[in-house]
Amino acid sequence: MRIVRLVLLAAALAALSCAAYAQGTPAPKDALVYFIWPQNGAVIKGGFWCRFGLRNMGVTHAGDTYKNSGHHHLLVDVNEPLNVNEPIPQDKNHLHFGAGQTEARIELPPGKHTLQLVLGDAKHYPFDPPVVSQKITVTIR
Amino acid sequence: MRDKIRDINSGRTTDVPPRALTPRRLAAIVAGDIVGYSRLMQVDEEGTHARVKRIQRDLIEPSIVEHHGRLVKTTGDGFFAIFDSPVEAVRCGIVIQQNMIGRNASLPKDHWIEYRIGVNLGDVIIEDDDIYGDGVNVASRLESIAEPGEVYISGGIYEQIKHKLVCGYESLGDRKVKNITDPVRVYRVLPDPSALSRSRKRRENILIFLLSLILLVLAGGALWYLLPPLEKARQEAARVLPGVASAPLQSPAGQQAAQAPQPSRPAAPAVQEAASQTRPAPSAAPAAKEAISQPQLAARTPAIQPAPALHEPEMNMLQGGSFAMGSNEDITEKPVHHVTIKPFAISRYPISVREWNQCAAAKACGFTANGKDDAPVTNVSWSDAKQFVAWLAAATGKAYRLPSEAEWEYAARGGTQTRYWWGEELQPGMANCKNCGDVAAAEQPAKVGSFKPNPFGLYDMGGGVDQWVEDCWHRTYQGAPSDGSAWIEGDCESHVIRSGSWQNDARYARPANRDNYDTNVRYPTHGFRIALSP
């Protein structure tokens, strides 16, 4: 009996520490991140201004821990699933907007590209539940 | 202030017909002026002129804009700016003065360009390219009585900022200034509040020490009187102890006390207490010594801690030369262009947690880094990295800085023109990058210097941690300088990062690879290394 209880306790503790590891900054259930522009399937000539929309949450600087607010990340041609236990990567396919930008000038080579927005918390982790936009496809001529 | 009220009472202001084009307003006026400008011009006319222009362009104008001020007028050697906020005005003054310390650090004393700055709050008349009024004159008088490298403020400014700006303020009393009827209350701004308390603390310490000594003598005397003579032998033994405790103080008073025929049990701890309380006094002595040799640095850097030894990053001296910068692999790396690098030194490793935390301990860097001492410091923004180099430069008196992007690539290539510094193909054991063929270390980022150095003896130039450089981000090299200097014109909201990190694949570890990130944002893979001009 005692052993079972100990095992249970250990399991509970392990679960707790896991939970602590994932940032899991809570986001409101109705939070919505979306593209104001471009729309899915848009055909664009040259560079374009990509505009980020966010409902029921606020945009702030990376590093700020105001409740219900985060900053945008634009994922370009990213196929790997989002890992919610790691900061959103930083490379040429994961563009960060930690200064609180809500739009960006994007220049992509001609062809088809996917775009997706992910909202990150103060430390660049996805929220819980993740606040992620629809993945759209644009064609650059 | 009083002037203005009197003006209104006497109705003098109404004598002047209101002019629509010259509105009056209350403003914080900053007046700045170079000390001994004509002497500097004599020493080196062209050089001084070029340097002053550069300072105005690179430091004064941006600092004013950054603090929401307006540059109203520049004279040959000085400037006037107005601010809506007294706090911002004084901050701007401090920023300019602190920056000048860094700029002067590498130069001989007779080439130093030093500003005097005065700040006053007053009613001014603003015209397109000039300002007029009592307030302006007072600011300029304050500036003229300020010591080189100092910011003097008027009482009006002091009242506005005293609780808002964490600085030391030393009152210099009411001063009579030229052509102004009423005396002006003057304060000297000490960016480092401890500089003020330091002198005060030393006085307090001496007082405490003397007080303890008196108590000690009293207690000793009482005991001497009360204790039976049998105890004499034990007293002899006990006498040695306080003598040792007070010896390092080298104070004649202390030696007198030791020789006084008293000490016994309860007295001994009192001496030790006195010794421990006076400890800050000897530690202030090295700071004072530094103040003599480098008055500028010691006075204003929070960095001057009596730390026993500053661990300076190890630097490799590079000879410089010409190389082809960039590659055709990515649009951001084009066009490939020739750059000539002057000799410079660059740190052998990225700045480590240990090195960073010296700056944090001196309260000159924004946060204390976690992690192993030998690990590279991470989660630093470009501004954080700049704070570190400013601190290190001030603490050592050497002009430490961030490398320019060109210098970084030159150093990373190590004299090679291949895709990687070791050749065209990826090889294990060369760089700490993702899927680079090495068993991933248990803890990331791996400690600095875990991988092979490049031909210049530099470690982690590619992979490991991303590294900030001085340059603002430009999407291509179109229009880039070719003299190896940092490219700082244009959009500076983001700066260049180099090297790629352990989270990026091998393409990012190429010496030509470049990326950018928001200037003030921290990210867990971002670190930096430092440079130094000989």
Contact A107 B475 (CB under 8 A): yes
What is the phi-psi region of residue A65: left when phi exceeds 0, alpha when psi lies from -120 to 50, beta otherwise?
alpha
One domain for residues B353 and B406: yes
The boundaries of the domain holding residue B10 are 2-191
Say if residue B107's pLDDT is above 70: yes
Token pair belonging to B111? 């080439």
One domain for residues B67 and B174: yes
Interface test with B, best of A90, A92, A103, A107 (most B CBs within 10 A): A90
One domain for residues B415 and B484: yes
List, for residues B249-279, the tens digit of each pLDDT value: 444 444 444 444 444 444 444 444 444 444 4
Contact between B519 and B383 (Cβ < 8 Å): yes
Of B330, B504, B517, the CB nearest to A96: B517
One domain for residues B269 and B384: no
Say if residue B303's pLDDT is above 90: no
Give the pLDDT score at B439: 65
Of A92, A98, A124, the CB nearest to B515: A92
DSSP string, B367-380: ----S-TTSBP-S-
One domain for residues B490 and B342: yes
One domain for residues B152 and B138: yes
The H or E element containing residue B39 is helix B37-43
Contact B518 A99 (CB under 8 A): yes
One domain for residues B174 and B246: no
CA B77, chain centre distance (Å): 24
Instruction: Assign domain A25-140 one CATH number from 3.30.70.20, 3.30.1330.30, 3.40.50.1390, 2.60.40.10.
Output: 2.60.40.10
Q: Assess B468–A contact: CB distance below 8 Å, yes or no.
A: no
Contact between B502 and B446 (Cβ < 8 Å): yes
Q: Assess B473–A contact: CB distance below 8 Å, yes or no.
A: no
Q: Is residue B77 part of a domain?
A: yes
Say if residue B110's pLDDT is above 60: yes
pLDDT tier at B112, thresholds 50, 70, 90: confident
Q: Is residue B287 part of a domain?
A: no
Sign of CA dihedral B98, B99, B100, B105: positive
One domain for residues B88 and B237: no
List, for residues B41-52, the tens digit of each pLDDT value: 888 888 888 889
Q: Is residue B300 part of a domain?
A: no
The C-alpha of B356 sits at a distance from chain A's nearest C-alpha, in angstroms, of 20
Say if residue B282's pLDDT is above 60: no
Give the pLDDT score at B192: 65
Region A98-127 average pLDDT: 94
One domain for residues B347 and B450: yes
One domain for residues B90 and B158: yes
One domain for residues B88 and B169: yes
* Residue found under tokens 């909201």: B493
Give the pLDDT score at B126: 82
> B75-79, B352-356, B373-377: which has the minimum mean pLDDT?
B75-79
Domain count, chain B: 3
Q: Could you tell me if the ipTM is greater than 0.95?
A: no
Give the pLDDT score at B253: 42
Q: Is residue B286 part of a domain?
A: no
Q: How big is the A-B interface in CB pairs under 8 Å?
A: 43
One domain for residues B181 and B202: no
- What CATH number should be reported for the domain holding residue B153? 3.30.70.1230
pLDDT tier at A112, thresholds 50, 70, 90: very high
